[in-house]
Copies of this chain bind each other. A is one copy, B any other.
């Protein structure tokens, strides 16, 4: 049965999933440049970005499973890019170059309509203005027998958690202190909703996996 899941969402020990002042120069906000180093070091990530090598241990397994079996992704507009407000033109086509690493339909939550963008390698960006439930319905249709990934950012994951629409979530906690930024767990209370798998960790990151009860 396909599920709705969050994978490889990385959080600092003090609870931040992004730093402050996200921008073109600082896609993850200031001070968060090394938040995802554990993922960049994996073979799965490097392969997805046409590079060789990388670690093949525990962290690689998590990185690989994050993408495996996903038939569609949903992301917030702030993950798609630094542009805010109405789309000024069709210039911004995501952070990921001509061939983004998704290879599936990607549904971008926005208040401003925009025509779909078909990229190389199977990724098409669709822009959804009708809210998170409509986006999920479209993503489920597109994914068919595969899972729907909630790709982030924090606000988007929080909204789906609040609406109790997330079946599984994998959080990666890294030994870093950001001090400021965007928290995942801010103003939401999802206690009692999830069971946890046994904790696993490499020297670089602790993996927490929860499933909806």
Contact = CB atoms under 8 A, between A and B. Distances in A.
Interface of A: 13-15, 31, 171, 173, 175-180, 183-185, 188-194, 196-206, 208, 210
B13 A173 contact: yes
Copies of this chain in its oligomeric complex: 2
B185 A14 contact: yes
A213 B173 CA distance: 21
A208 B178 contact: no
The majority secondary structure among interface residues of chain A is: loop
A175 B13 contact: no
Given A15-B15, A173-B173, A206-B173, A189 B198 contact: no
A148 B192 CA distance: 37
A201 B174 CA distance: 12
Given A13-B173, A15-B15, A179-B191, A199 B202 contact: yes
